Structure 1
Amino acid sequence: MRAAVVDALGSGFVVQDVDIAKPQGREVLVEVRASGLCHTDLTFATHAFAGFPPPVVLGHELAGVVVAVGPHTGSFSVGDHVVGCLVQWCGTCPACLDGRAYQCANQGATLRDPAKDGPRLSRAGLPVTQGMGLGAFAQQALVHENQLTAVPRRLPFAPAALLGCGVLTGAGSVLNGARVRAGETVAVIGAGGVGLNAVAAARLAGASRVVAVDVQDGTLRRARDFGATDVVNSAAVDAVAAVRELTGGGVRHAFDIVGVAATTEQALRMTARGGGVYIVGLAGGGGELKLSLPRLLLEQKSIQGVIMGSGNPRRDIPRYADLYLQGRLNLDGLVSRRIALDEIDAGYAAARDPEVARVVITSF
């Protein structure tokens, strides 16, 4: 099959032939119909991370059709439409049994032991790393069934592909992590793909004010389309002062989608007494946060990390798909460009444009 392979960190993606194994155990072979270009994959393609050594096939925002299943697969049949998710969950640990798949203690249970079972991907007889158990920048993906969720066949593939990461993370941080309620106020720092989903979910939850904060006017214009009631360009004004003025003293919930110390500090200062700060992203290693413990105590604020929107994929992905089909969740607006697999490097270059929310591969 054709796959976009990273042979050396920083060398870009090269489309070439890669061999894919037959499904074993609970594995599912998926014909990939759409794959989103997430910045996380680009980070893995340019920086060394344990578990993702080159050569590697990346890509984790996946939608497609099941073409084969392993002998012990119980959740899927050939012809099912599915969405992939980078949340790897065993299904048997205490966290999984409690519905907290995002806190699974045994994520490796979804992966093969290459020494015992052979690699899922190979080239010229040598193993090729499969990024995050998915490897969706390819014509096919061989995935453990726990990393897949069935979706309605009438759901278009391009927006469906975004459900397993950007939507799950952004919307979930609001609906699951913060549990925003009607009438509450929200600030979202960073209005890219994940941030737009946080904005949309906040309006869906009934937030009375949703303030999008970013450094790009184009990004902020798009945030209004997703439900932001107000926008603040933090490169032009004091974002903390602006948000506090707009909301009469600060927001109830502030979401740091960027994830560096400076933006988390902004989020803390934007929140009203008793407010919550939710760290959703992590850019450039994040850094260290200096806190005033007396101030944190007296102002009764909380700080919480939210991984993958505190999501249970089998519960949340169908929920978001249904909201889209009802016309209540804007996924089409996230798909800014559709490209072919051979255009992946150009696609990532295009993704730097603030007018672009997500680039999606739809031709393989």
Structure 2
Amino acid sequence: MKTRAAILAGVGEKWIVDEVELGTPGANDVIVEIKAAGLCHSEEHMASGDMVFTQDILDAMGMPEQFPLIGGHEGSGVVVEVGADVRKVKVGDHVSTSFIPSCGICRACVGGRQYLCDQGFDLMTTQAEPKHFWQGKPANTYSNLGTFAEHALVHENSLVKIEDHFPFDIAALVSCGVPTGWGSAVDRAGTQPGDVVAVIGIGGIGINAVQGAKSVGAQVIMAIDPVEFKRQKAMEFGATHTAATVEEAMPLIQELSRGRLCDRVIVTPSVLYGDILAAAMSITGKGSTCVATAVAPYAQAEVPLSLVDLTLWNKELKGSLYGSTNPRAQIPKLLSLYESGQLKLDELITHRYPLDDINSGYDDLREGLILRGVITF
């Protein structure tokens, strides 16, 4: 099958919208007609080089070259073809993609941690028979999805069936950014009623961490971001206070918490660096939790962290993937909350773009003009 897609040819390149060819679906593969795809910052990390592996890492992980790359991992659509052994979906089903595949039978999945699925790791990293081709040569897909395309060839474990009445642009949002942000505040950080919470970085993930903190009854939600537009939006989504920097926020946090500082700090900047994490820990109170949910450059290996402060204040520092939530449970739950009016999703979409305008969408993302942009087909 031939279809149109957005391809990234290398670091620093613009997206190229061109025809690609999909191979024959394997026994557990599915072809999805993509209806909507979210513009997530993760693909921008490929364009900037932050998530580009060195050759020794590629060899160790058994990965092919990362470029050319069909982008997109946040998406939704309709199943149009299934492989012989596909059981989770059927032709005509509406689906949301999940950049974390889940098999349902490995130790992580049966232990309630689908976001750490063994097969999911294999699907995203190991080299397999090429199934996508651009200009006659093999092409990779981001997270084995490639939703920046009119059609995507994916493994059934990367799809979550949804009810047919949900709008496709809304269904695309809950495939990545919404559950990652929401889960970071609710599941990983464990925010409780009455907590003082800070969210550092108000993008597609951070804004949903704000929503998550509000949903469980946080008393104070401090949204920290240098972009005024994002601070204003944070107030619409549940923040009680805003600041441009951690330094600016510190006196108000001390006042609002009566000197105890934050019970939960969720760190969701566009790119995570050591000094950002150190600042986040400086506003984390005694016995309290700091959660890092952001991509750092692979060369970033140092954090100027006070170990005395960490131990004597009994602080927790946690990493989080996909908000430490299970996609097959979380995606339907978030859609239900949206349906009942308890979760803002329509308001997340700042702008919709046709596929041919994908570069304009990423320009807007880099300039801080959008919360979430969506490609609609």
Fold match by TM threshold 0.5: yes
- Amino-acid identity (%): 37
2-side partners of 1:132 and 1:301: how far apart? Answer: 33
CA separation in 1, counterparts of 2:291 and 2:328? 23
Q: 1:133-212 residue pairs with structure 2 within 5 A?
A: 133-212=144-223
**Match of residue 107 from structure 1:** 120
Structure 1 CA distance for aligned equivalents of residues 310 and 226 of structure 2: 27
User: Distance in 2 between the 1:360 and 1:330 partners?
Assistant: 16
Q: Which range moved further: 128-137 or 283-292?
A: 283-292
Amino acid at match of 2:92: G
Shift of 1:81: 0.9
Counterpart amino acid of 2:90? Answer: S
Q: Helix, strand or coil: the match of 2:303?
A: coil
Q: CA deviation at 1:299?
A: 1.1
Distance in 1 between residues matched to 2:286 and 2:264, nearest whole Å: 11
Contact 2:72–2:142 at 8 Å: present in 1 too?
yes
Distance 2:232 2:296 in 1: 23
* 1:93 CA displacement: 2.2
Query: In 1, are the aligned partners of 2:185 and 2:212 still within 8 Å (CA)?
Result: yes
Partner of 1:224: 235
Contact preservation (8 Å) 1:22, 1:29: no
Helix, strand or coil for the counterpart of 1:155? Answer: coil
Unaligned runs of 5+ in 1: none
- Given the alignment of the two structures, is residue 122 of structure 1 paired with residue 136 of structure 2, yes or no? no
> 2:362 and 2:160 mapped to 1: Cα distance?
26
CA distance in structure 2 between the aligned counterparts of 1:233 and 1:80, rounded to whole angstroms: 44
For residue 287 of structure 1, report the CA deviation from its aligned partner.
4.3
**CA deviation map 1:263-312 (0-9, x unaligned):** 21222121221111111113444442133333222211111111110021
State the shift of 1:22 in Å.
2.9
| 1:245 correspondence with 2:255 | yes
Cα pair distance change 1:77/1:309, threshold 3 Å: same
Give 2:214's aligned amino acid. Answer: R
The two structures have a TM-score, normalised by structure 2, of 0.90
Match of 1:22 in 2: 24
- Note if contact 1:189-1:256 (Cα within 8 Å) is conserved in structure 2: yes
The Cα of 1:233 is off from its aligned counterpart by: 1.7
1:290–1:335 Cα change, 3 Å: same
CA distance in 1, matches of 2:200, 2:114: 26
Instruction: Choose 29-38 or 94-103, whichever is displaced more.
Output: 94-103
User: 1:119–1:112: structure 2 CA closer, same or farther, 3 Å change rule?
Assistant: farther
Other-structure match for 2:8: 6
Cα 1:272–1:133 change in 2 (3 A) is same
Is contact 2:103–2:120 with CA below 8 Å preserved after alignment?
yes
Q: Any idea what the Cα deviations from partners look like across 1:70-113, whole Å, max 9, x if unmatched?
A: 11111111111111111133433211221212222343544698
- Aligned partner of 1:261 in structure 2 is 274
Amino acid at match of 1:311: T
Q: 293, 298, 303: which one pairs with 2:307?
A: 293
Corresponding letter in the other structure for 2:19: D
Aligned residue for 2:292? 279
Cα distance change of structure 1 residues 261 and 244 upon mapping to structure 2, 3 Å threshold: farther
Q: TM-score scaled by structure 1?
A: 0.93
Give the Å deviation of 1:34: 0.3
Determine the C-alpha separation between the residues in 1 that align with 2:194 and 2:67: 49
- Is 1:350 matched with 2:338? no
Q: Give the partner amino acid of 1:85.
A: S
Q: Residue 18 of structure 1: SS of its match in structure 2?
A: strand
Q: Counterpart amino acid of 2:9?
A: D
Whole-angstrom CA distance in 2 between matches of 1:294 and 1:46? 35
Shift of 1:10: 1.8
Instruction: Tell me if structure 1 keeps the 8 A contact 2:275–2:304.
Output: no
The answer to whether structure 1 residue 325 and structure 2 residue 339 are counterparts is yes
Residue 197 of structure 1 and its aligned partner are, at CA, apart by 0.2
Q: Distance in 1 between matches of 2:273 and 2:121?
A: 29
CA-based RMSD of the aligned residues comes to 1.9
- Equivalent residue in structure 2 for 1:34, among 29, 33, 36: 36
CA contact (8 A) 2:242 2:249 kept: no
1:75 paired with 2:77, answer no
